[in-house]
């Protein structure tokens, strides 16, 4: 009887791709249709072993990129699921700015296809990059916190949304480039709780220059965190 009811509902209201909203035959309502999925590029080896930047050729092993060889990062490693292009850009924009919060399930569902072998069980806590209260009020939700909660539900790692706070409402990073991004986030985060000896996975939606997560990691490191890794859905390349 349930199968008959489901078939009738599918006929009246056929399943649709969560991104383009075109009818699809896929049974999972959070799965991208083949057309949207074709615009998604998963990041896999070879990558920079620290910041996770994918290298153009598949002929070499993973190693440090030139930037990480000469630069200093406050996090230990950073990994991203997808490159920030095509369908990924559209999906993240809709998730972040158009109230399509259900896309957290769609985006994180792509982890099943990831060649990186991400291990979320090694962390004591998941920490979202915080929004300032003004932006949180305007948007209605913190997309990084939604990603944390989805990962927590999948892997059983607790979320601490109160560990970090954003004490200054800085300009949106999307409006800035290069060193401007680093200056824009300097001193905007503070600790609300003690992170000492914790192994932390810091979570955000997009890694562009890494300025935001690096500043968060600096504050966590100063507080005594044992290890700080970064995970984002996408990475600009």
Local confidence band at 160 (pLDDT 50, 70, 90 cut-offs): very high
Based on the fold, state whether residues 205 and 231 are members of the same structural domain.
yes
88-119: per-residue pLDDT in tens?
999 999 999 999 999 999 999 999 899 998 99
Locate 61 and state its tokens.
């092993």
Residue 100 lies in a domain: yes
Q: In the chain, which residue ranges form alpha helices assigned H by DSSP? A: 2-12, 34-37, 66-70, 87-97, 103-109, 133-139, 143-155, 179-185, 211-222
The arithmetic mean of pLDDT across residues 173-188, rounded, is 78
Based on the fold, state whether residues 115 and 179 are members of the same structural domain.
yes
- Number of structural domains found in the chain: 2
The arithmetic mean of pLDDT across residues 48-62, rounded, is 88
The arithmetic mean of pLDDT across residues 123-135, rounded, is 96
Based on the fold, state whether residues 4 and 56 are members of the same structural domain.
no
Based on the fold, state whether residues 45 and 119 are members of the same structural domain.
yes
Answer yes or no: is pLDDT of 9 > 50: no
- Rounded to two decimals, the pTM is 0.90
Kindly report the average pLDDT of the chain as a whole number.
89
Based on the fold, state whether residues 88 and 127 are members of the same structural domain.
yes
Locate 226 and state its tokens.
């044992």
The arithmetic mean of pLDDT across residues 4-12, rounded, is 46
Based on the fold, state whether residues 123 and 45 are members of the same structural domain.
yes
The arithmetic mean of pLDDT across residues 164-174, rounded, is 83
Based on the fold, state whether residues 79 and 1 are members of the same structural domain.
no
Strand-strand pairing, 164-166 and 227-235: unpaired
Based on the fold, state whether residues 100 and 2 are members of the same structural domain.
no
**What pLDDT, on the 0 to 100 scale, is given for residue 5?**
44
201-227: per-residue pLDDT in tens?
999 999 999 999 999 999 999 999 999
Residue 21 lies in a domain: yes
**What pLDDT, on the 0 to 100 scale, is given for residue 175?**
67
Residue 80 lies in a domain: yes
Strand-strand pairing, 199-207 and 125-128: parallel
Task: State how far the Cα of 26 lies from the Cα of 9, in Å rounded to an integer.
Answer: 14
Locate 139 and state its tokens.
């948007």
Based on the fold, state whether residues 12 and 87 are members of the same structural domain.
no
**What pLDDT, on the 0 to 100 scale, is given for residue 15?**
82
Whichever domain contains 165, its CATH number is 3.40.50
Based on the fold, state whether residues 221 and 158 are members of the same structural domain.
yes
**What pLDDT, on the 0 to 100 scale, is given for residue 88?**
92
Domain span at 14: 1-29
- What sign for the dihedral angle of Cα 223, 225, 226, 231? negative
Residue 163 lies in a domain: yes
Per DSSP, what are the bridge partners of residue 163? none
**Which three-class secondary structure state does DSSP give residue 77?**
strand
Based on the fold, state whether residues 110 and 75 are members of the same structural domain.
yes
Task: State how far the Cα of 109 lies from the Cα of 22, in Å rounded to an integer.
Answer: 19
Residue 2 lies in a domain: yes
Local confidence band at 13 (pLDDT 50, 70, 90 cut-offs): low
Based on the fold, state whether residues 186 and 117 are members of the same structural domain.
yes
């Amino acid at each position: 009887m349930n199968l008959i009811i489901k078939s009738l509902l599918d006929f009246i209201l056929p399943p649709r791709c969560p991104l383009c909203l075109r009818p699809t035959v896929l049974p999972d309502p959070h799965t991208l249709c083949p057309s949207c999925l074709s615009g998604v590029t998963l990041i896999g080896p070879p990558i920079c072993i620290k910041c996770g930047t994918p290298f153009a050729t598949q002929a070499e092993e993973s190693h440090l990129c030139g930037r990480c060889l000469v630069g200093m990062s406050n996090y230990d490693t950073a990994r991203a699921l997808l490159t920030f292009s095509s369908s990924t850009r559209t999906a993240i924009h809709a998730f972040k700015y158009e109230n399509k919060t259900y896309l957290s399930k769609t985006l994180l569902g792509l982890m099943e296809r990831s060649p990186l072998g991400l291990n979320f069980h090694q962390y004591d806590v998941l920490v979202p990059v915080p929004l300032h209260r003004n932006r949180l009020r305007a948007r209605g939700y913190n997309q990084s916190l939604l990603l944390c909660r989805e990962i927590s539900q999948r892997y059983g790692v607790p979320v601490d949304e109160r560990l970090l706070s954003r004490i200054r409402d800085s300009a949106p990073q999307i409006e800035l480039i290069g060193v401007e991004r680093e200056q824009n986030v300097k001193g905007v985060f503070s600790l609300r709780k003690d992170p000492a000896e914790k192994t932390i996975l810091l979570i955000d939606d997009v890694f562009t220059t890494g300025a935001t997560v690096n500043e968060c990691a600096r504050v966590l490191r100063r507080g005594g965190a044992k290890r700080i890794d970064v995970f984002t859905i996408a990475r600009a390349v």
